[in-house]
Amino acid sequence: MQPDANLAEAHVDSAGTVTLSGYPMPSVQARLQATGLHAAYGDIRVLHGLDFVVAKGGITALLGANGAGKTTTLRAVCNMVRTQGEIRLDDVRIDGKLTEDIVRLGVAHVPDGRGTFLELTVEENLRLGAYTRHDKDVAGDTDRMFGYFPKLKERFRQQAGTLSGGEQQMLAIARALLLRPKLLLLDEPSFGLAPLIVKEIFAIMQRINAEEGVSILLVEQNASLALQISDRAYLLETGRIVFSGPSAEIRRDESIRRSYLGY
């Protein structure tokens, strides 16, 4: 099935690059909005003018092959790479701010590889997640995380390095949520995990999104699964958005799936 001609339009720039505008973006309240986002590592340019939106309370997926620029996009949001362009969180510009200040404004990042402190216990990892907080609700929030991830309660005193890969991913997500973020950046949460564990983690992510109201920007190689839980998706190719639209529409569009997602 080809995208409706009234909904998708191809544009060719001066370099001959074809960009599909995709399905029109509905009117939403933006939690995060990037406009003209460029990013580079030294002299190597990786992102080339991305425009994207994450809705308040929504889940947005970034899809594409390895090297497309997905992880760099998450790092750019946190100002971990050199960027140009505009990034707004709740209409407040965060581009150019220090990474720690962006965290304090409500952005939590679960990086590729999970980033757990393996030599520390589960308890100590969770405490680190709440290090910027000065309220008295940390214990209550920790108990709530155990509701999502009961295995972490069972292993509360256990060294994180002895956990399974799936349990370490759960710990990384729980630690990020203890920041009480407005926006959660998730980089390849399914990487290296068994299919049943992946389904369990994605189901928990949906619960967290629905019950906590946390917006999620998800980078994921498992495009089929990402499209099932997200509201909207952006397809990246060599640092450019080649297509965007509602996830349900992309999931039904066989030509887009075959051309860009490989299934």
Same domain assignment for residues 138 and 170: yes
Output phi, psi for 25, to 5 deg: -80, 120
| Structural domain boundaries, residue 236 | 1-106+183-196+215-263
Within 10 A of 199 (CB to CB), how many other CB atoms are there? 13
Domain boundary among 154, 180, 206: 180
- 36 shares its domain with 83: yes
Same domain, 77 and 189: yes
| Greatest CA separation for the chain | 59
pLDDT digits (tens, 9 = 90+) for 63-85: 999 999 999 999 999 999 999 99
Among residues 153, 180, 207, the one where a domain terminates is 180
Residues 24 and 79 in one domain: yes
pTM of the entire structure? Answer: 0.88
- Tokens representing 4 are 């409706």
Are 82 and 164 part of one and the same domain?
no
What gap in Å lies between CA 254 and CA 232, rounded to an integer? 17
Domain with residue 10: its CATH number is: 3.40.50.300
If asked whether residues 189 and 78 sit together in one domain, one would say yes
Closest CA to 232 of 60, 31, 74, 53: 60
Residue 233: inside a domain: yes
Do the domain assignments include residue 15?
A: yes
Does any domain span residue 206? Answer: no
- Whether residues 147 and 189 fall in one domain: no
**Judgement on whether residues 18 and 88 belong to the same structural domain of the protein:** yes
Domain shared by 225 and 150, yes or no: no
The domain boundary, picked from 155, 180, 205, lies at: 180
Give me the pLDDT at residue 7, please: 39
Query: Which residues in the chain come in under a pLDDT of 70?
Result: 1-27
With respect to residue 204, please indicate whether it lies within any of the assigned structural domains.
no
CB atoms within 10 A of CB 154: 12
Residue 196: CB atoms within 10 Å? 9
Domain count, the chain: 2
Q: How many helices (H) and strands (E) does the chain have?
A: 10, 12
Same domain, 189 and 88: yes
Is residue 91 domain-resident?
A: yes
- Three-state DSSP class for 217? strand
Q: What are phi and psi of 215, to 5 degrees?
A: -75, 145
